[in-house]
Amino acid sequence: MTALTCAVTVSAGSAGSGTAARSPVQDLVSPRTVPGAAQLSQDAHGVRFHTAGVADVRTGRPIRPTDRFRVGSITKTVIATVTLQLAAERKLDLDDPVSTHLPAATAALLPCPGDSDSDSRDPGCRITVRQLLTHTSGLFSYTDDRAFFHRFFGPGFTAHRFQTHKPDALVRTALSHPPHAAPGERYRYSNTDYLLLGMVIRQVTGHSYATEAHRRVIAPLRLTGTSFPGTRAGLPSPHGRAYTATGATPGATTGTTTGNSRTADATYLNPSSAGAAGELVSTLPDLNRLFGALLRGTLLPAPELRQMRDTTDSYGRYGMGLFPVRLPCHRTLWGHNGEISGSYVQTLGTTDGRHLVSYRVNSDAPVDAAAERALLTAEFCPKA
C-alpha cells in the first residue's frame, strides 16, 4: 500500500514519441468497439501506469489514473469481505441457512420459505450463506433472464437505463426460473447469490451493505475514489466516458454511435440493476489498494482469508469473492473481474498481495482473451 505514494511511471500508448516500450495494454483497444484501456501495476519496484486509446471519443481526452469507473462484479469481493468479517465476529455462521438471515418477505420468495431443516421440504430451504459466497446455491442468476437481459444489458438498454430496481423484485425474477441444481451440488456463477448476501448484511447489521462496506472496508483503507452509487446515474468526477456495444442502437440520439464505431455512450445509468452483485464505482489505484490489503490479511483474520481462497466447493474455479488465475509460468494469482454496461475491469495479485495489477477498458465489448493473457504474462512471468 505504501508503494502507491511513490512516483507513478506513465506510458501513453498513443504518445507517438517512440521512446517508451510498447505496453500489452495497447492490444486491449479496438478501433470500433473499445476506445480506451489502462493498466496500473504495483510491486517492489514501484507503480507503473500505462494507457492506450482515449477516455472520450469526442474530445480525445486520455484515461487518467484517478478516473472513476464502474467495476461491476468486483463489488462481490467487497460483499464477500464484509460477510466473512461478520462470520469472524460470530454474527453469523457460514453454514447457517440463508433464510434465517433474510427479511421474512424475502425468505418467503425462496423455494422453501421458513426455517425448517426437514429434508422432506424443498431443498431451497437448505441454501447456506457459504453456498451463496461460493456460487453453489443452485439459484438461477436473474441477469440470465432473457427479458431482463434484453431490457437492461442488451438492445433495450437505452430505453431502460434509468429504471430503479428493488432487490426483492430482482430475486423474484430469478426465482421465476427453476434452480440449476440442488444446493451445494455444483458451481454456477449467479448474481442472485450476491444480491441475497447484500440483504443478509442488512438483516444482520441493521445497515445497508453499502454502509457496512464503507465503514469496514472503504473508510479504513482510505479508498477515496470508491463508492456505492445506489440509484445515482452519474459518475463522480473525474471520469471519462463509458461505451456499450451490446446496447448500441445505430443512429440513437443518446449515444455516440458513428460510422466508424459500433458503440453507444453508456456513462449514465442506474446501477440498481446490479446492486450488491455489481454496483460499485472505483479507481485503478483504489482497486490495487483494496486487493493488496485483502490478500495480505489486513481485512480478514487468517482463518477467514483461507476460506476465501478455498476453491474446494467449486472444483478449483471460485473461492468466496475471489478466484484463481493460473499462468503458463506456474504462478497463481488471486482476484476478480467485473463487467457492467460500458466497462470491463480485472484486478489480480500474488498470494502475498505484494505484486498487483488492475486493468480496464471503457467498453463492454468482449476483450481479446489472448491480449489479456499476454498482459498478465508480461507482468507476472519473468523472462527467461
Q: What are the residue numbers of the active site?
A: 73
With a CB cutoff of 8 Å and minimum separation 6, the contacts of 292 are 1, 42, 349, 353, 354, 356
Cα–Cα distance, 82 to 217 (Å, whole number): 8
What does the radius of gyration of the chain's CA atoms come to, in whole angstroms?
A: 21
Q: What is the dihedral of CA 336, 103, 116, 277, to 10 degrees?
A: -10
Cα–Cα distance, 354 to 42 (Å, whole number): 8
φ/ψ of residue 363, rounded to 5: -155, 155
Q: What angle do CA 238, 29, 227 make, to 5 degrees?
A: 30
> What does 129-162 look like in DSSP terms, one character per residue?
HHHHHTT-S-PPPGGG-HHHHHHHTSTTHHHHTT
All three cell numbers of 3: 508503494
Cross-strand partners of 12: 51
